Amino acid sequence: MVEVHKVSGATFDSNVYLVLDEHPILVDAGMMAGPTLKNISRYIDPKEIKIIALTHCHHDHTGGAPELKKATGAKVLLSEKEGGCVGDELTTVSYLFGMEAPEYKVDGYLKSGMILDLGEWLLDVLETPGHSLGSVCFYEANAKVLFSGDTVFPDGNIGRTDMYGGNPESLISSIERLTQLDVRTMYPGHMEITSKEVNRQIQMSLRFARSVL
Ligand SMILES: [Zn+2]
């Protein structure tokens, strides 16, 4: 039985998820590694984490990546479209947080069609640009689980498209793609985890995006 725990701890961090399968992984890294590592240690030795899969390069999702990588020894995966973003304060929007862009080595690039094999769960990589150039979501078809990054949030909310690399048309197409999935539980990059009529919530996000973008 696969378990997912939200392990981010700092106030402005993105959500960081610890997925406990045969090969434990983190989805996103937040900004502050300290509280996250402490929360991970409640479940497993951080060194057991094999992969840190980033939904996109923004600072609130990746600022903690250098320290988490060091502490875990995990491989860091990022969209191939955002390979050039590491260390760049504009594409990572680090300047919005008054911080320097995080520097870390990307060990592998994510693209549509890739599958992350965690043991029981097989996470499909879906490229969902719009909030950023190379935003991705992760979908597990059997468990009907979606890690939605900053593409969609609960209650019909959507990711911003007004930062570098943002694109309203792309976001609408990406959300259209997400409405074709059957989702039982959504783990968003911000806000709360939800299992309540998630397909309907994503439909609401699509209507909202079409009306405002
Ligand atoms: Zn973002």
Instruction: Kindly tell me if the per-residue pLDDT of 10 is higher than 90.
Output: no
CA distance 33 to 62: 10
Which residues lie below 8 Å from residue 172, measured CB to CB, with a gap of 6+? 130, 206, 209, 210, 213
Measured distance CA(34)–CA(137) in Å, rounded: 25
> Over pLDDT 90: what percentage of the chain?
98
Separation of CA 195 and ligand 1 centre (Å): 22
Which amino acid type is present at position 103? Answer: E
Is the confidence at residue 11, as pLDDT, over 90? no
How far, in Å, from the CA of 73 to the mean position of ligand 1? 25
Spacing, Cα 63 to ligand 1 middle (Å):
12
Give 78-100 pLDDT, tens digit per residue: 999 999 999 999 999 999 999 99
CA distance 3 to 124: 18
pLDDT, tens only, 147-180: 999 999 999 999 999 999 999 999 999 999 999 9
Structure tokens at 126: 């879906």
Quote the ligand 1 centre to 82 CA distance (angstroms). Answer: 12
Ligand 1 centre from 94 Cα, in Å?
Answer: 11
Name the DSSP letter for residue 100: P
- Centre of ligand 1 from the C-alpha of residue 14, in Å: 8
Full 3-state SS string of 135-154: CEEEEECCCCEEEEECCEEC
Give the Cα separation of 45 and 66 in Å (integer). Answer: 18
